[in-house]
Amino acid sequence: MKHAAPHAHALKDRFGRTINYLRISLTDHCNLRCVYCMPLKGLTFAPSAELLQADEIEMVVRAAVSVGFHKFRLTGGEPTLRADLVDITRRICSVHGVADLSMTTNAILLPKLAKPLKDAGMDRLNIHVDTLDPDRVKRLMRFSSKDEIEAGIEAAENAGFTPIKLNCVVTRDYNEMDVVDLVKRAVDRDWHVRFIELMPLGGGEPSHVALANYVPTKETRARIEEALGPLIPLPVTNASDESRNFRFDHGRGVVGFISPVSEPYCGGCNRMRLTADGRFHLCLLNDDEMDVKKAIREGGGVEAVAAILGKAVASKPTGHRLDEGLSTEDRSMFQIGG
Ligand code: SAM
Ligand code: SF4
């Protein structure tokens, strides 16, 4: 069973934030091309030799645990495209001090992977589903289909990943009309659905999609309440949870809103990101990075990696200008992992 290492002292950054959550991007590849995330043409992906290998990822996790990290998430690109995903999961879960391992996925490959991942120690899954309208899935998530998403969700439930958590990025003219349907599905089943504001990260196609199709949380919430009645706020149990959560007085599920543009939550940020090509990316919305792969491949061990992580935490910035359309310029969302 996993439990946080009692001896590790969590790192604090210069703004007093405790940083104990590492998001690990396993690849920049994806089997989908969501309009706001990836263009259909002109993509170049990191060659596989440039990606951190399973043993290198394990070393980073050991280093992170030694400086007080205990929560980890696999992301991408699409993490299920890594052939060694189950091995990576097993390795991470074997590290003493890892208290929680989760993964964000588009669910397409879950029918074959959900059970092996559960058996390897994965605790939780977040499933990305922007709409369950068959035509709009095709238009927004492109190479996906309603049936494949449904099969992925079912596989996750059957493997014991409950409650199911769904992530929906609300995108004007593509799926803002489907939020009520998603909520209905969730609240009847004890699921947790979270609506995320579209960020202007410019990786999609056409490149203006994220800016022009932003829908504020206020509007999404109003649409849901108009159709289904008032949402009742749930108490904040975790200050670093970026989602503000609600429920209805009827229904069992939870409805959450993640509002990076209209209500930035930098003050509660507890996370560090590791890019697939082995760099600590200090803040989703800024460009600063520190190379950890180079240190590992030059023979540095767990202590060397922990020292780089310490510097990365000490240099973490705060504040962004998303509301002015400004964000990271050198990286797209699929390279950082959301
Ligand atoms: N492929 C996996 C998935 O889609 O869940 C993991 C990686 S994906 C980059 C992680 C999350 O970022 C997804 O929920 C996706 O919808 C979200 N995302 C991608 N581009 C975004 C953007 N411009 N603004 C807000 N969220 C975005
Ligand atoms: Fe792929 Fe996830 Fe980006 Fe969609 S949001 S294109 S599923 S990485």
Dump pLDDT digits (tens) for 110-156. Answer: 999 999 999 999 999 999 999 999 999 999 999 989 999 999 999 99
Q: Which ligand is nearest to the CA of 215?
A: 1
For ligand 2, atom 4, the nearest C-alpha belongs to 34
Q: Is the pLDDT of residue 244 over 60?
A: yes
Pocket test for ligand 2, best of 40, 41, 74, 78 (most atoms within 8 A of CB): 78
Q: Is the pLDDT of residue 90 over 80?
A: yes
Query: Could you tell me what percent of the chain has a pLDDT over 90?
Result: 65
Q: Which pLDDT does position 212 carry in this prediction?
A: 82
Q: Which ligand is nearest to the CA of 209?
A: 1
Model-level pTM greater than 0.85? yes
Q: Is the pLDDT of residue 6 over 90?
A: no
Task: Tell me which of 3.90.1150.10, 3.30.390.50, 3.90.230.10, 3.20.20.70 is the CATH number of domain 11-335.
Answer: 3.20.20.70
Which has the minimum average pLDDT: 28-37, 46-55, 208-217?
Answer: 208-217
For ligand 1, atom 14, the nearest C-alpha belongs to 128
CA–centroid distance, 47 to ligand 1, in Å, is 21
Pocket test for ligand 1, best of 170, 257, 333 (most atoms within 8 A of CB): 333
Instruction: Report residue 265's pLDDT band, with 50, 70 and 90 as the boundaries.
Output: confident
CA 216 to chain centre: 20
Q: Which pLDDT does position 14 carry in this prediction?
A: 83
Residue range 165-178, pLDDT digits in tens: 999 999 999 999 99
Question: Exposure string (b/e) for 115-151, b if CB count within 10 Å is 16 or more?
Answer: bebbebbbbbbbbbbbbbbeebbeebbeebebebbee
Q: Is the pLDDT of residue 101 over 80?
A: yes
Mean pLDDT of 232-247: 89
Question: Which atom number of ligand 2 is nearest to the Cα of residue 77?
Answer: 8
Phi, psi of 252 (to 5 degrees): -105, -25
Question: Which atom number of ligand 1 is nearest to the Cα of residue 78?
Answer: 1
Q: Which pLDDT does position 10 carry in this prediction?
A: 79
CA 198 to chain centre: 14
Q: Is the pLDDT of residue 157 over 90?
A: yes
Pocket test for ligand 2, best of 141, 144, 171 (most atoms within 8 A of CB): 141
Mean pLDDT of 241-267: 88
Q: 10 or 95: whose pLDDT is higher?
A: 95
310 vs 163, 228, 304, 315, 319, CA distance in Å?
34, 47, 10, 9, 20
Pairing of strands 232-233, 243-247: antiparallel
Ligand 1 binding site (Cβ under 6 Å of any ligand atom): 30, 36-37, 75-76, 78, 104-106, 128, 167, 169, 196, 198-199, 201, 210, 333-334, 337-338
Residue range 317-336, pLDDT digits in tens: 776 665 655 556 666 777 76
Q: How many CB atoms lie within 10 A of CB 299?
A: 7
Strand order in 271-274's β-sheet?
232-233, 243-247, 254-258, 192-197, 165-170, 124-128, 100-105, 71-75, 21-25, 271-274, 279-281, 289-291
For ligand 2, atom 3, the nearest C-alpha belongs to 37
Q: Is the pLDDT of residue 1 over 90?
A: no
CA–centroid distance, 315 to ligand 2, in Å, is 29
Q: What is the average pLDDT score of the chain? A: 89
Q: Which pLDDT does position 13 carry in this prediction?
A: 84
For ligand 1, atom 23, the nearest C-alpha belongs to 199
